[in-house]
Structure 1
Amino acid sequence: MKKTFQLNEIREVAKEIIGTTPGKILCFYGDMGVGKTTLVKAMVKELGAMDEANSPTFGLVNEYRGENDKLIAFHFDFYRLNDEMEALDMGFEDYLAQDTWVFIEWPEKIESLIPEDAVGVFLHFVDENTRSIELNVS
């Protein structure tokens, strides 16, 4: 998938990613402020989470649940991580072992820990209201 979209179309983009991505582990790449968290929020909402998603920058991970308290997704933000050991210490591999969606912002901070079947989601600025997105499926 490769496309350009307006920010007001982000829900449709989220829906398309969820419907076409072969795996449930997605790594979000892009500059600060490009909309990685905004896209994750739209995806979490599309998946039926009961709570609104927000950035887990300080806690590193947020967990989202839907109806009947069913686990829907984990959302990681590794921007403030100093090294991969911090991710291992928090049990990152245990999160990956669960059969649920996993959204990872700043995956370049934990590159050697990313599973081979993870999907890369690359976001780029086009202008103030426009972004381009490309999915890299291995």
Structure 2
Amino acid sequence: MNSLVHKTMVVQLQTGDADRFPVLAHLSYDAADPFALTVVFSHDGRVLARWTLDREMVADGLAGPVGVGDVRMRPESRGVWEELRIEFLGDARPDGDRHRAVVFVWAAAVAAFLRETYAVVRPGEEEVRVDDFLAGLTAEG
């Protein structure tokens, strides 16, 4: 069985109060890190940002608001269109606020991606490899 899942989709990026514009989101899941999803946002061949997200948090974000730190998610309805709203908070700005970007993703596409990851590692069956974790920590010094 393949331990990797990849999906590329078009999402809508909104920064500040500006209009939304389309960017690509490249989602990936690797059973070697079973709790994490990686998303790379790109536009015109340039990487805009790379984030590692908690798989369970993404699933919970489809059902209701989650997150209190740098990443916050919640479902949003646009008529018949259900979206997952993901807010990313960055470094502080000179005015004391924080840089912020909001991404809107078609919720059905996120749910389909999660189902593919569940076929690789079912929720609740993730394994924590403590020895590998500790070896990584000691190698970093």
Query: TM-score range, shorter-chain basis?
Result: under 0.3
Q: What TM-score comes out, normalization by structure 2 length? A: 0.27
When Rg is computed on C-alpha atoms for both structures, the one with the higher figure is: 2
Which one has the bigger helix percentage? 1
Q: What TM-score comes out, normalization by structure 1 length? A: 0.27
Which one has the bigger strand percentage? 2
